[in-house]
Amino acid sequence: MKILTPLRNLNDINVLADAGAGEFYMGFTDPAWREQFGMYTDLNRCSLYEEANKASIEDIRYYADKAHRRETALYVVLNAPWYGDRELDYLKHYLQELSDAGVDGIIVSTPEQIELVRKYGMKAVASVMSSVYNSDIARYYRDCGANRIILPRELSTEAIAQIIDNVPEVEYEAFLMRNACRHADSYCLGLHGGVYGGLCYDQALQDSMLNMPQDTGPDKINERKYNNYLYDRVFRSSSCGQCAIWRLLGNGIAAVKIVGRMESADEIAGSVRLTGYNKKIAETVNSEAEYLLHMRMPENRYDYCASGLSCYYPEVRF
């Protein structure tokens, strides 16, 4: 099970590889895309965040070279929510350039990209934007030629195991650490970035209003308000799946993903080191109970860990 981490700067490769990263993913920016398709047609899911896409396409070959010298793989994201005919056509010259640069794979969001990516000799990874929520959807992507599928953050370890059992011919990747959103990745269609921030960010700035039927009693209203407070203010303010590593290994997950394309390498490296440490524990113990006893939780996060509200896979402990 590899540890996949985001990459922003060339110099971060050594820091992250030293910490235990086995794979990297990154985006790039191209002013020509904006000129061609306008401000609001994304090249990748985080196009509007400049910090997440610091490299140009010409830079990518240096990233690929360095990643390979560290015996790691490099994936590039082309996972915008959609691509029409014109966009798909335009992607072809990027794919040629990325293939020439030695990039190992492309993280795609639509079935139509898979054939294209394979044609250019790279691995096609179905992004979380592909919404593979069940085995039938996984089969569809397998049949389209996907080499790997990134599973949605909201799947339980049991649901993940079921998909892998039913469609074992592809690799799977699961989310493990750092920021998570309240919205389903693939169905959140507010602008992701921009001057007002993401929809989730904007939602968190003010209190929401709860409407219930007029005959609702005070106890029910208070219960809902409390529930809403926890949901809006506490739930997933941080995200972690360290307790699930033993299960994910057992499920046959090929890679676990640390997210945070806008965070510093030092912060990411901390998460990678913790994941590497816990992975070693999981590989040596004989049971989940033993793993949970010996594994390490993130530092200074006991309050989050104790409530279960920041767990990617809360079913492991709760």
Interacting positions 82-141 with another protein (CB under 8 A): 82-85, 88, 111-112, 129, 131, 133-141
Measured in degrees and rounded to the nearest 5, phi and psi for residue 54 equal: -80, -25
Kindly tell me the sign of the dihedral angle through the C-alpha atoms of 53, 245, 137, 103: positive
**Between 62 and 226, CB nearer to another protein:** 226
Q: Is 173 in the site for another protein (CB under 8 A)?
A: no
Count of residues engaged in binding another protein, rule: CB under 8 A: 71
Which span (1-9, 209-217, 250-258, 268-276) binds another protein, by CB under 8 A? Answer: 209-217
Give the shortest CB-58-to-another protein separation in angstroms. 28
**Between 69 and 233, CB nearer to another protein:** 233
Binding mask 5-24 for another protein (x = CB under 8 A): --------------------
Kindly tell me the sign of the dihedral angle through the C-alpha atoms of 199, 8, 176, 162: positive
- Pick from 35, 209, 217, 300: which binds another protein (CB under 8 A)? 209
- Pick from 145, 270, 276, 314: which binds another protein (CB under 8 A)? 314
Helices 265-284/12-19 angle, 10° precision: 20
Give the shortest CB-87-to-another protein separation in angstroms. 9
- What are the residues whose beta carbons fall under 8 Å from the beta carbon of 14, sequence distance 6 or more? 70
**Between 8 and 153, CB nearer to another protein:** 153
CA distances from 109 to 10, 88, 222, 234 (A): 25, 12, 41, 30
Which span (56-64, 280-288, 292-300, 307-315) binds another protein, by CB under 8 A? Answer: 307-315
> Encoding tokens for residue 272?
């990678």
Extended beta strands in 27-66, E state: 28-29, 55-56
Give the shortest CB-299-to-another protein separation in angstroms. 22
CA distances from 263 to 6, 49, 52, 83, 90 (A): 9, 12, 8, 27, 30
Query: Which residues, numbered 23-42, are part of the site for another protein (CB under 8 A)?
Result: 38-40, 42
Per-residue 3-state assignment (H helix, E strand, C coil) for 83-113: CCHHHHHHHHHHHHHHHHCCCCEEEECCHHH
**Between 32 and 210, CB nearer to another protein:** 210
Q: Is 49 in the site for another protein (CB under 8 A)?
A: no
Tell me 311's DSSP state: B
**Between 88 and 289, CB nearer to another protein:** 88
Q: Is 242 in the site for another protein (CB under 8 A)?
A: no
Instruction: Please tell me whether residue 50 adopts helix, strand or coil conformation.
Output: helix
CA distances from 34 to 95, 194, 196, 279 (A): 17, 14, 20, 41
**Between 159 and 281, CB nearer to another protein:** 159
- Pick from 51, 100, 223, 267: which binds another protein (CB under 8 A)? 223
- Residue written as tokens 């809403």? 228
Query: Which residues, numbered 251-290, are part of the site for another protein (CB under 8 A)?
Result: none
**Between 48 and 269, CB nearer to another protein:** 48
